[in-house]
Structure 1
């Protein structure tokens, strides 16, 4: 079996990827290897990656969403999932226009110099609550004060532990287990840390 070339999934784009690499070497980007592929950086920021796949080879611009794309060459590989990254795909060396690629690269570097970054929605998971635990804490002021000494992260571990129980009986059993832990200031998962 022939040796796999870096980010040439099908081993069919060796010459084409080398050509793209030579174009990129004409810029002031720094060549690195990340995630098993060539990635070109500017001031330690990922700007462009290259790779070969089943039906195409190409470049991807990590902050491609900000490129003007006057030639309409960029695509979003996973509409609805991919936010910032844009790809420029080719199926033959004849499609590769060095001058155009260098223009896109120049603009991509300019974007990095400006520090443009796509703001994404906060992906924090939804806050879980437990009426059962809340009611138990309200009944016992000492327990409530002990619970409030924990960081929000550790409080959430207890809340989740109780909230994930389906039956009241299980909630009660779990509460009885964590009650001494709370009073002794021992987090639910402290023994694993």
Structure 2
């Protein structure tokens, strides 16, 4: 058990006992405990298996490749329609976690076995993601921006396309695109660190907020 996870759990104001129980169940499956993305993460031979996290209305165990689990109990939840790989089991009380303990362990063991077998989630190709007409228009007006976008990695392109497509209103889509033009031209992904302070580059861990406080 890691000290970072101990600090994380002790600092929770909600779902503390539920997440402690999930931690106990997961560790009983023989995985390694780490602290990634500011949450307890559990791995097998360096491969991410599950993560536990909390939200306002529920806490959850997240399977990184939950899309390939069989899910005979029909308890896995796709967090949003844009999430391709991960799946959650959600909880709102400790009793439910205790009731599902055998099932949780069964799903974790299957996830571990899937990693050993090298199972992969069949993800949509970047070319299958919708390019909003607002982005196409700005591409026509700014060829350097279009070139920079096409030079991004496939994952970074998908992240931006999901971000730009999410709003319903055209003006909101345009605002999101314009806000990220410079970031894209500089080769950064939507969640990449641009301040240089992040301890988990290239991802941003919120360290830039220190700069904002000092202004």
Alignment TM-score, normalising by the size of structure 2: 0.53
The gaps in structure 2 that reach 5 residues or longer are: 1-6, 132-141, 148-185, 187-215
Deviations 1:110-160 (A, max 9, x none): 11111111132342799xxxxxxxxxxxxxxxxxxxxxxxxxxxxxxxx93
CA distance in structure 2 between the aligned counterparts of 1:74 and 1:93, rounded to whole angstroms: 18
Name the counterpart of 2:89: 88
Partner SS state of residue 75, structure 1: coil
Name the counterpart of 2:173: none
Partner SS state of residue 126, structure 2: coil
CA distance in structure 1 between the aligned counterparts of 2:32 and 2:146, rounded to whole angstroms: 50
CA distance in structure 1 between the aligned counterparts of 2:122 and 2:94, rounded to whole angstroms: 35
Q: Aligned in 2, Cα 1:8/1:56: closer, same or farther, shift over 3 Å? A: farther
Say which one has the larger Rg: 1
Q: Aligned in 2, Cα 1:93/1:37: closer, same or farther, shift over 3 Å? A: same
Deviation at 1:10, TM superposition (A): 6.8
Deviations 1:144-177 (A, max 9, x none): xxxxxxxxxxxxxxx933989xxxxxxxxxxxxx
Q: CA-atom RMSD, angstroms?
A: 2.8
Query: 2:94 matched to 1:111?
Result: no
Whether the aligned pair in 2 keeps the contact of 1:7 and 1:37 (CA below 8 Å) is no
Partner SS state of residue 20, structure 1: helix
CA distance in structure 2 between the aligned counterparts of 1:115 and 1:161, rounded to whole angstroms: 39
Name the counterpart of 1:121: 124
Partner SS state of residue 22, structure 2: helix
Between the two proteins, the alignment pairs up a number of residues equal to: 128
Q: Aligned in 2, Cα 1:121/1:8: closer, same or farther, shift over 3 Å? A: farther
1:58-73 to structure 2, matched below 5 A, reads 58-73=60-75
CA distance in structure 1 between the aligned counterparts of 2:144 and 2:88, rounded to whole angstroms: 43
Name the counterpart of 1:137: none
Name the counterpart of 1:135: none
Deviations 1:74-121 (A, max 9, x none): 010101x00010000011011112111111111111111111111323
Specify which of 8, 12, 15 is matched with residue 14 of structure 2: 12
Q: Aligned in 2, Cα 1:161/1:58: closer, same or farther, shift over 3 Å? A: closer
